[in-house]
Amino acid sequence: MSEFDTGSGIVSSARTSGDTLFASVSGEVDLNNSPELRGTMLDLVARNRPHKLVLDLAGVPYMDSSAIAVLVELLRRLGKGGQVILTNLQPRVRGLLEIARLDSIFVLAKNEQEATDKG
């Protein structure tokens, strides 16, 4: 397992284990800071080439469509068969993903343990 200093306020921590990249996101994600999320996460994905990305969103009370666009781009960057698993979703964020039917392209898990079991 390797841990990384993300140098980012929005991505508070990141680590790898096998072919999985784990990252924790903190704060509201909107048009103002989604470019920081995008840049940090794309850099981590490019450097580590994970097959699975587990994002802990416990610290994210709100996200808008720009944040969802970042998640979709990350899924594409993982390539064929890659998975983006979103954990510890707050009700408002879970509701947004379910209303937009994005729970059909992202895996929604209660916590990290469930995320690793689903892989």
3-37 pLDDT, tens digit per residue, is 877 778 899 999 999 999 999 999 999 999 999 99
pLDDT tens digits, 54-94: 999 999 999 999 999 999 999 999 988 999 999 999 999 99
Residue 93 and residue 62: Cα distance in Å, rounded? 6
Which residue in 50, 104, 108 sits closest to 82, CA to CA? 50
Q: What is the pLDDT of residue 7?
A: 78
In the chain the first and final C-alpha atoms are separated, in Å, by 17
What is this structure's pTM?
0.92
Q: Where are the beta strands (DSSP E) in 1-119?
A: 2-4, 11-17, 20-26, 52-59, 83-87, 107-109
Question: Which domains can be identified in the chain, with CATH numbers?
Answer: 2-118 (3.30.750.24)
* Tokens (6 digits) for 98: 């379910």
